[in-house]
Amino acid sequence: MTPPARSQKPAWALAFKRRREEMVGSQEELAARADVSQSLISQIERGVQLPTGVSMDRFARLLEALHWTPEQFAEATGLEVPFVAPSRSGPPVPPVVPRRETPVVIPPELQQVIDDYGDTYPELRDPTIQKIIAAPRNFGGPENGPQTAQEWLEYFLLTRRYLR
């Protein structure tokens, strides 16, 4: 009487075993290099345990010990590596939304401060500084930020040390 036919091992298990034999040698050596149990290596090679079914940390250590990149692993085994984006060729994908300058409106009260104190505080004439100072009003709405020329001057004086 012949023994019952063994179920065939999955192709990924055979690819894993072949790589281990080529790159490392014994299951015990791979287990030591990857800091996993020899039992886990055996389960993977028998097709009982998916190599991608272990923790990401263990999986990464196995790939490193086998000198395999995730892409090479996926190609050799036919298994998807969940945390690796598929490679693509061709030109880079342009951004979805083109970059545009947001117009900055200088409130009349702030413009008065710039006109009155621009000689005393030359940084007030810098367009970048003006954008920064006007930000509360431009992005928060007209009710936000300083309301009077005096408040704008005080706001500028309080924040100017951070603007240098």
Tell me the pLDDT tens digit for each residue of 57-97: 888 888 889 998 888 888 888 888 876 555 556 777 666 76
Residue 122, domain member (yes or no): yes
71 and 17 together in one domain:
yes
Total number of domains constituting the chain: 2
Q: Which domain holds residue 49?
A: 11-77
112 and 73 together in one domain:
no
Burial class of residue 110 in the structure, from the number of CB atoms within 10 Å of its CB (0-12 exposed, 13-18 middle, 19+ buried)? buried
Task: Return the C-alpha torsion angle 138, 143, 145, 150, nearest 10.
Answer: 120
pTM to 2 decimal places: 0.47
